[in-house]
Amino acid sequence: MFIRLAEQHRQFIKDLVMNLQALAIVLEKRGYIASCYTCGIQMNSASFMVSLGDNHLIRFLVSDYGITWTEMQDDRELMKLEGAEAISQLQELANLVKYQIKSSESQAPNYDSNFLVG
């Protein structure tokens, strides 16, 4: 049972990392400064960052050790969430981008809105 759970956890982390990479690409296409760095090819960890302007930065870290969402403005931490709460906050960011893109599709015809997970 524990081996199966460990493998499910590894797959979950890998899926999350792939979605972070996709979100970074979408955000960059929308004009935001965004990045997603992974360690190695196993995709078992990632560091995702996006600047929302006005010194407003979001950092999302994922690894086998945990998941963290940190929101900062003017070099001060506004919010820090972990685990499921961090993933929920990431979904809210993805939804904002997804609906913003759908409402302005005519302005960005080269973007496939199905690329964003959500």
**Domain for residue 56, yes or no?**
yes
Asked if pLDDT for residue 72 goes beyond 90, the answer is yes
The stretch 39-52 carries a mean pLDDT of 91
**What is the reported pTM?**
0.79
The backbone torsions φ and ψ at residue 6, rounded to the nearest 5 degrees and listed phi first, read -65, -40
**Domain for residue 58, yes or no?**
yes
**Domain for residue 100, yes or no?**
no
Domain around 58: 2-95
pLDDT band, very low/low/confident/very high, at 93 (cuts 50, 70, 90): very high
Note whether 94 and 117 are within 8 A (CB).
yes
Q: What is the structure's pLDDT at 109?
A: 32
Closest listed residue to residue 57, CA positions, set 68, 49, 67: 49
Return the biggest CA–CA distance within the chain: 50
Asked if pLDDT for residue 13 goes beyond 60, the answer is yes
Number of structural domains found in the chain: 1
